[in-house]
Amino acid sequence: MTKAAYLRVYSPETAGSRDPVPGFVRSYGMLSEAEGDDHWTVEWEGQRLVCPRNLRLRVLESTIAFASAFRGLGMGLIPEDAARAADRELRVYHTENPSHRSHVLTSPWHVPVRWFTAFEPSEKLVYEVPKGPRLRYRTSIDDARRRVARAYGVLEKIGVFRGPAEELGQLVGWLEPFPEGSMVELDYADVSDLFDPQELVFDESCELIQESIEALDAGDMQRAGENYGKVVTRWAPAFSVTFSN
């Protein structure tokens, strides 16, 4: 099963489903978690919050996105028939479940750099599972929106990083509709296994990205590039697994 990291939103009010995943999705290795698992729940600031898996919705969305991304690179890893089937099923799903939306973003083999913009280094938490330590960040939806919007604004102002700016803009849009009182979590999850436990615990990716944004805002391109380069170098071995698979 693919190792994946997750960006989740837990909310006090949610609508979700446990519909099965389409069979053709399994054929192309798009499933990174077990079917049938219950929704994620957590206690946050005295409230019980829920993050519905909505696995059918998420794998349909990711199959379409995956097919489109690699088609743009001249590779057809997912046949056109499968992509069109996913698009049809997604349209039906939205018609039948208009209140459902993805509460989870999934990234195979690495944590996308843009996710770190939602958090502060002080929000890092280490937790243990039988396989060893795991890393996660948690913050309020208000703080996450404000930080991502600020990072997006900085890149928009500079005007030379169109790709990263567009990705941050999409993240701003994804966070916007969630209700007040929600919590945002970046969970390294199984991606943690790709690092030495000590390296994982002392990971400074979030701090370096925040420092890079501050440097960009101050016009210090050299310092911004150095900090960003450190993060890219750190994640390069894990990120390369995405393309080797």
* Per-residue pLDDT tens digits for 186-231: 999 999 999 999 889 899 999 999 999 999 999 999 999 999 999 9
Contact 168, 157 (CB under 8 A): no
Asked if pLDDT for residue 40 goes beyond 70, the answer is yes
At 75 the pLDDT is 46
Instruction: Provide the token pair at 59.
Output: 């794998």
Secondary structure (3-state) at 220: coil
Residue written as token pair 């990083």: 161
Asked if pLDDT for residue 20 goes beyond 80, the answer is no
Secondary structure (3-state) at 105: strand
Mean residue pLDDT across the chain: 82
Residues whose CB falls within 8 Å of the CB of residue 172, separated by 6 or more in sequence, listed in order: 145, 148, 149, 152
Residues whose CB falls within 8 Å of the CB of residue 39, separated by 6 or more in sequence, listed in order: 14, 16, 50, 51, 52, 53
Q: What is the DSSP letter of 113?
A: G
Q: How far apart are CA 186 and CA 152, in angstroms?
A: 18
SS3 annotation, 167-213? HHHHHHHHHCCCCCCCEEEEECHHHHHHCCHHHHHCCCHHHHHHHHH
At 97 the pLDDT is 67
Instruction: Provide the token pair at 132.
Output: 């060893």
Contact 51, 41 (CB under 8 A): yes
Question: pLDDT band for position 94 (50/70/90)?
Answer: low
Secondary structure (3-state) at 27: coil
Instruction: Provide the token pair at 98.
Output: 């208009």
At 171 the pLDDT is 95
The 10s digit of each residue's pLDDT in 45-83 is: 999 999 988 777 767 766 766 666 545 444 455 667 777
Secondary structure (3-state) at 48: strand
Higher pLDDT, 162 or 141: 141
